[in-house]
Amino acid sequence: MQIRPIVIFFFFSLPAFAQQQDSTVREPDPGFYENIQADQLPAFPGGPERLRSYISSNLTVPYIRLENDTTVVVTVDFVVEHTGELSNIRVRNPGFRQLDKEVLLMFTRMPPWEPGYLHRKPVSLNVSLPITVNLGNTKRKPYDVPVPELSNLPQYRGGGQALAYFIRKTLQYPAEARKAGIGGAVTVEFLVMSNGTVGNAGTLGEVIGYGLEEEAVRIVEKMPRWIPAKLDGKAVTAKHKVIIRFEPPRSSAAQKEKTD
C-alpha cells in the first residue's frame, strides 16, 4: 500500500538576539490535522516543550541592520524519515540570507525525531515548521543627526546619473531572487558623515527577502565619499535615503518573444 506524505505545521515564536530567552508556542490549528494518514505524528524527543527549548538554545539570530522592528517567519520544510532522521531540509521562502542560513544549520544539527506511525509501522512524513522571529531595530544611532536645509542635502559626486551608474555597475542580483523571479524596490537609509563617508546603512519598509535587502545595503556601503550636507555653512553628518530597484532578469524565451 502506498503511503501519502502529510504536511504538519507547528508554530514557534522566538525573541531576537537572545539564545536563552523564553518563547511561547502556539498550538497548531486543529484543521491542519484533518484527513491525515497516520496513527501517530512524528515528534521531537521530549515533545513540543523540548523542541521549543532546543530552538531557543541553538538558533543563533544574526545581526541584521533594520530601521524598524520586524517580525520574520522562517518556514522550514523537511521530512522525518521512518528512521527518525531529518532529510530534504529547506527554507520555503528565502528571506534574510543570514537568518535562513542559521536556521538550516540548526536543523542539520538537530537530533533524530520520533517517527510517525501508520498501522504500527514507522513511515516517512513531511513536516513544515514556521518559526517566528522578532527582530528589533538594530540600526546604530550614536548621536543625534541634524536635519539640514533642503538645498544642503548630501549629494553624490557627479549627481543622480553618476549615482545610478554606480548602482547599476555594482549591483549583483542575488541568486535566490533571480531563480524565483523576485524583484522590487528597496529603500536604504544611511548616514553621510561630515567627511563624506557613508555608514550605518539599514533598510526601510516591508522586507522583500531573497537577499535583496542585503544586496542593497552592500551597494550603499561600497559607495565612495559623498559631498556632505551643510548647516550654517559647516559640513555636518546627515541622514539620507536611496531607492535601489531590482528588476528580475528576463528569460531568454521572453526576450525572444518580445523581439518577434
The residue with cell 502506498 is 2
- What the block records as the C-alpha cell of 156 is 553624490
Task: Give the per-residue pLDDT at 16.
Answer: 41
Sign of the C-alpha dihedral computed for residues 154, 157, 221 and 249 taken in this order? positive
pTM for the structure as a whole: 0.53
Please, are residues 201 and 211 in contact by the beta-carbon 8 Å criterion?
A: no
Return phi, psi of residue 76, to 5°. -105, 125
CA angle 228, 193, 235 (to 5 degrees): 45
Predicted local distance difference test score (pLDDT) of residue 156: 93
For residue 170 the three cell numbers come to: 555594482
Q: What is the DSSP letter of 170?
A: H
Cβ distance 130 to 74 under 8 Å? Answer: yes
Report the pLDDT value the prediction gives residue 105, as an integer from 0 to 100: 93
C-alpha cell at 194: 561630515
The Cα 247–Cα 183 span in angstroms is: 5
Which amino acid does the sequence have at 149?
E
Residue 138: per-residue pLDDT: 57
Q: Are 187 and 204 in contact (CB under 8 A)?
A: yes
Q: Is 216 left (phi over 0), alpha (psi -120 to 50) or beta?
A: alpha
For the chain, what are the domain ranges? Answer: 7-135, 150-259
pLDDT value of residue 151: 52
Is residue 138 within 8 A of residue 64, CB to CB? The reply is: yes
Phi, psi of 184 (to 5 degrees): 150, 180
Angle CA(14)–CA(117)–CA(113) in degrees, nearest 5? 35
Write down the pLDDT at residue 260: 47
| Mean pLDDT for back-to-back runs of 10 residues, the chain (260 residues) | 45 40 34 54 89 86 74 87 93 86 92 91 88 69 47 83 94 92 92 89 88 93 91 82 88 45
Pairing of strands 125-135, 70-80: antiparallel
- Assigned CATH for 150-259: 3.30.2420.10
pLDDT of residue 45: 93
